[in-house]
Amino acid sequence: MAWKLYDYRDHRGENPVKQWCESLQKPDLARMNKRIDLLETNGKDLCPGLAGPLSKSPHLHKIKINGSVAARLLLCKGPIQMETEYTLLLGAFERDDELPEGTLETAESYRQNILRDPKKWRSPHERAKR
């Protein structure tokens, strides 16, 4: 079953997820796009470790890339149609297995924005290219 993917849009209407993905080095971008393709075609449950849940934030999941940097993409199921959608919220780099302070709170606030007004705060996923 194919899933519908969305990207978070900031208050200027820009796509920070796409911009962050495009900042990755080419091999890391390829790995990230592969993970996003898998999410879109099979959801997160077929492939173990694709988008694990975060213990500190039950609504958030994390795609991790172990390339030249520890790139992490935070996302959530839904949050409007829980059985058919994922929304990519925020990209970040881990150091010593830790996300920068405030990352989870920011991602959760993005999710809340989308719940309040999905048309304003998200748009269909755009593939990052270099």
Partner 1 sequence: MSELRGNLREEFSDKQYRHAYADESLNTYIATQIKVLREQQELTQKQLADLTGMAQPRIAVLEDINYSSWSINTLRRLAEAFDLRLSVRFETFSSLIPEIETFSREALKRDKFENDGWFHKKDVQPAESAIWRAACLDVGQELAHQHKNSRIVEMPRRTGAAALAAGGR
Q: Which is nearer to partner 1, 27 or 102 (CB)?
A: 27
Q: Which is nearer to partner 1, 47 or 112 (CB)?
A: 47
Which helix (H) or strand (E) covers residue 91, if one does? strand 85-93
Binding site for partner 1 (CB under 8 A): 26-31, 33-35, 37-38, 41-42, 46-50, 64, 66-67, 127, 129
Min CB(28)–partner 1 separation in Å: 8
Distance CA 49, CA 37 (A): 15
Min CB(49)–partner 1 separation in Å: 4
Distance CA 2, CA 38 (A): 9
Distance CA 130, CA 24 (A): 9
Phi, psi dihedral angles at 22 (to 5 degrees): -70, -10
Q: Which is nearer to partner 1, 13 or 124 (CB)?
A: 124
